A and B are shown apart, each in its own frame.
Chain A
Amino acid sequence: MAQTQVFPFQKKAPAGTVLLIDHLSKTFFLKNGQAIEALKEIHLEIQENEFFCLVGPSGCGKSTLLRIIAGLEQPTSGAVFYRGERIEKPRREIGMVFQHYTLLPWRNVEDNVALGLELRGRPRRECLEVAHKFLRIMGLEGFAKAYPYELSGGMQQRVAIARALANEPEVLLMDEPFGALDAHTRILLQKELLRIWSLDQPTIIFVTHSVDEAVYLADRIGVMERRPGRIKEIIPVDFPRPRDRALPEYGRLCQRLLDLLGD
């Protein structure tokens, strides 16, 4: 396993808003005509270099919100702006890591990681160089030629993260990326993610239903409620990283979030 030590690091100063989620609502219609308010009046400003976590019960619309930010779905009203530009379709500056890895099974690891650059028409040599750089960062040297079906879930998710990072996004959206992994791998990858984030601190929006995960990772936590999907409260987490799960304030914050979610 790769080294996973997280060093304390200097948090970059916020440099302005990178994403503005402006009074966004999304309504689905069921076959029988019934309207479901998946998201209602979400208003959020995400700062540059921020690690923002969204927690909420399942069905609160947190994945839908992420998909709208990614440009994969359209809101019913309101909009998302990336540096002042309205997001209408996926764009390269906004990358995404899905819960189910979604590696292309017919491509080996390096070709999966190189996909973003390949789509931008970069020469093959450059694609592979960059891919290998990010495979090294993710501790995946030696797996470049392996196929996804030969890897464990944790390894596949590392490749998926490498694939998103190799495209050099400014915002990284992560939709319950560790949700399908066992507890040990999950904690390992949380540390890894913080280590990688500390390198050049891209803006991350991380969706999870684990309160512990949110407290361990985030600068700010948006707590969502369901029906209609709304942001109930935004809680800043100001203790330094790496965070010690044994500290009383860590536990107290987790408990506070659980109480908020339980109401």
Chain B
Amino acid sequence: MEKYQSLSWTRGTEIWSSLKDQALTLLVPLLCLLAWKFYASRLDNPVVLPYPETVLSIFFQPWKDVVGQGSLLQNMGISLARVLAGFFLAILVGVPVGLLMGYCPLLFKLFNGVLNFLRFVAPLAWMPLTLLWFGIASLATLWGINEGPAYHWLNNIKLAMVFLIFIGAFFPIWIESIHAAQSVDRRFIEAALVLGASSRDVFFKVLLPGAAPHIVNGIRVGLGIAWRTVISAEMIPGSLAGLGYLVWYSYSLWRTEVVLVGMAYIGIIGGALDLFFRWLAQRELHWFYRG
């Protein structure tokens, strides 16, 4: 009986301490919300500081078209499609180029100079050149699609934006892939060679899987930059959709509450994408994290 009581007592404290943990993480956001509410009421100027309840009501109804430019969800989808296009292109080019440069000193010498110099040019600095090269051509132009439901989406994925996102995501993915290839234990490569591996086998069966944990780090950084780049790219004149566009357009209407909701979703989606990649890495690369 006594034992039983002591057990339930322990369990009680456990629940209490986990509640306490969760309360602590919520503490700062709650205080911010209170301060926001307090100052918004005192200021009473929703353009400078909108009321939290207005912002929250828009936030929780993302399917509504608030400023006549499509719903939040639609704009989110368009931004996401742009990011993924540029981002996957960056993976497709950055990972093999980085791995080969990390593995083969000659390739490293040949390409490192140019790429390391380009790395410091911010994606937005490419904007003028990009517009001159690609103009307003989109994936729809590229594939010759002029109508139908696919057209609406494809036409919103402008090549210029995809290129800018590619530039943003490419460099961290490329640099981490070089380090990733260099971090693969040479002894694994030798073990494969002794078993009869060709250079192709070494690349696909040793270098790529062995480098994966570090490549994932580069991919996560690249994704963050890609997401930030799309938001800035959508603020350029001539852009017609996307979360960044929505924020900018709402600002021109002085709808600050929509600006805030847009900002909140930008942060949330970025965080969610990162969480997804972390989850994927933990699941697929268990040998690295638990080994």
Interface residues of A (CB under 8 A from B): 70-72, 89-92, 94-96, 98, 100, 102-107, 115-116, 118-120, 147-149, 163-164, 167
Judge whether A90 and B209 touch: CB under 8 Å: no
Complex contacts, A90 vs chain B, CB 8 Å: 193-194, 196
Interface string of B204-223 (1 = CB under 8 A from A): 01100110100000000000
Judge whether B191 and A120 touch: CB under 8 Å: no
CB distance from A109 to the nearest CB of B (A): 12
Instruction: Tell me, in angstroms, the Cα distance from A91 to B194 when the chains sit together.
Output: 7
Instruction: Tell me, in angstroms, the Cα distance from A104 to B288 when the chains sit together.
Output: 11
Instruction: Tell me, in angstroms, the Cα distance from A200 to B212 when the chains sit together.
Output: 40
Instruction: Tell me, in angstroms, the Cα distance from A148 to B192 when the chains sit together.
Output: 16
Complex contacts, B209 vs chain A, CB 8 Å: 104, 106-107
CB distance from B284 to the nearest CB of A (A): 9
Main secondary structure on A side of the interface with B? loop
Asked if A102 meets B195 with Cβ closer than 8 Å, knowing A119-B201, A147-B291, A149-B287, the reply is no
Instruction: Tell me, in angstroms, the Cα distance from A96 to B197 when the chains sit together.
Output: 13
CB distance from A239 to the nearest CB of B (A): 33
Complex contacts, B201 vs chain A, CB 8 Å: 119
CB contact list, B38-91 vs A, under 8 A: none
Which chain B residue has the least Cβ–Cβ distance from A167? Answer: B195
CB contact list, B139-168 vs A, under 8 A: none
Instruction: Tell me, in angstroms, the Cα distance from A147 to B284 when the chains sit together.
Output: 13
Asked if A147 meets B287 with Cβ closer than 8 Å, knowing A95-B194, A120-B196, the reply is yes
Within the complex, which residue of A89, A95, A104, A148 is in contact with B206, where a contact is CB–CB below 8 Å?
Answer: A104
Closest 10 CB pairs of A and B: A149-B291, A102-B191, A116-B195, A96-B194, A92-B196, A102-B187, A105-B287, A90-B193, A106-B209, A90-B194
CB distance from B210 to the nearest CB of A (A): 7
Instruction: Tell me, in angstroms, the Cα distance from A159 to B197 when the chains sit together.
Output: 19
Which chain B residue has the least Cβ–Cβ distance from A112? Answer: B191
List 14 A-B pairs, Cβ < 8 Å: A71-B194, A72-B194, A98-B190, A100-B187, A102-B185, A102-B187, A105-B287, A106-B287, A106-B288, A116-B195, A119-B192, A119-B196, A148-B287, A149-B287
Which chain A residue has the least Cβ–Cβ distance from B291? Answer: A149
CB distance from B185 to the nearest CB of A (A): 8
